[in-house]
Amino acid sequence: MLADLHNHSCLSPCASLEMSPGLIARTAAAKGIGLIALTDHNSTRNCPAFRDACKRYNLTPLFGMEITTTEECHVLTLFDDLDAAMEMNRWIAAVQPRIPLNLDYYSDQPVVDADDNIIELLTYFLGQAVPHSLESVRRQTRLLGGLFIPSHINRHSFSVESQLGFLPPGDYDAIEVVPGTVDAYRRRYPDLPVITASDSHCPEQIGTWPFHIHLEGQGHDIAAIRRGLMNLTLNNLSSTP
Ligand SMILES: [Zn+2]
Ligand SMILES: [Zn+2]
């Protein structure tokens, strides 16, 4: 199955307003993606619409967000259960800085339904770092039963390497790396699943850098996805030099 675990909807201040959850699901299905995550910046508010949209196209959804930690590292927190994702959202929203959204630089942040109707416009900037550390976000994700995956760890900004200089040893379900660097990171971290993702912000980017995952059974819950990710490490040491 093809998986793409990093996509931004119109709720993200840096994403195209065309990126409704409905369009993301429709486009992903057309590109053969089977497992897809919605990961807006510091909010899961478009995940209910994403659940409804994925149902229409028979996709397995993951509900999550890309959190900007207090170190300004981007990390993905992903759940198979919408309630757990919304609980994670409450944990973030309770401490989120309420800096007004500047429309000179960013676009509106609409919460929408699966038919692209606007339900609410969030007026504070969702891209701001939240006062929770990488470790604290990891612990809360684990507590709620989710997957914890640092985003684009070798990108030049908002990544663990750019902010900390290295990947702290720890409990990760996978690491997402910049396309073209998978083999190098598989050799560097033989025990970790190394994935790519589209990090889509506009329709053309959806499904551009998926990875293959084998999921056993029909349920496709977090446990099955975690096993599928771990199986990616089996070939790490045999990757081409
Ligand atoms: Zn990011
Ligand atoms: Zn992103």
pLDDT tens column, 38-77? 999 999 999 999 999 999 999 999 999 999 999 999 999 9
Q: Please give the helix or strand (H or E) that residue 43 lies within, else none.
A: none
Strand pairing partners for 74? Answer: 68
Output the tens digit of pLDDT for each of the chain's 241 residues: 999 999 999 999 999 999 999 999 999 999 999 999 999 999 999 999 999 999 999 999 999 999 999 999 999 999 999 999 999 999 999 999 999 999 999 999 999 999 999 999 999 999 999 999 999 999 999 999 999 999 999 999 999 999 999 999 999 999 999 999 999 999 999 999 999 999 999 999 999 999 999 998 777 899 999 999 999 999 776 655 4
Q: CA-to-CA distance for 48 and 21, rounded, in angstroms?
A: 9
Give the contacts of 30 (CB within 8 A, at least 6 positions apart).
none
> For 74-95, what is each residue's pLDDT tens digit?
999 999 999 999 999 999 999 9
- pLDDT reported for residue 241: 45
Closest ligand relative to 201 C-alpha: 2
CATH number of 2-238: 3.20.20.140
Is the CB of residue 53 less than 8 Å from the CB of residue 27?
no
Is the CB of residue 197 less than 8 Å from the CB of residue 5?
yes
User: Residue with structure tokens 């025990």?
Assistant: 191
Q: What is the DSSP string of 165-206?
A: SS--S---S-EE--TT-HHHHHHH-TTS-EE----BSSGGGT
Domain boundaries, the chain: 2-238
- pLDDT reported for residue 87: 98
Ligand 1 mean position, distance from CA 130 (Å)? 14
> For 108-117, what is each residue's pLDDT tens digit?
999 999 999 9
Ligand 2 mean position, distance from CA 235 (Å)? 27
pTM: 0.96
Q: Is 158 left (phi over 0), alpha (psi -120 to 50) or beta?
A: left
Ligand 1 mean position, distance from CA 153 (Å)? 9
Ligand 1 mean position, distance from CA 41 (Å)? 8
Ligand 1 mean position, distance from CA 231 (Å)? 25
Q: CA-to-CA distance for 216 and 239, rounded, in angstroms?
A: 24
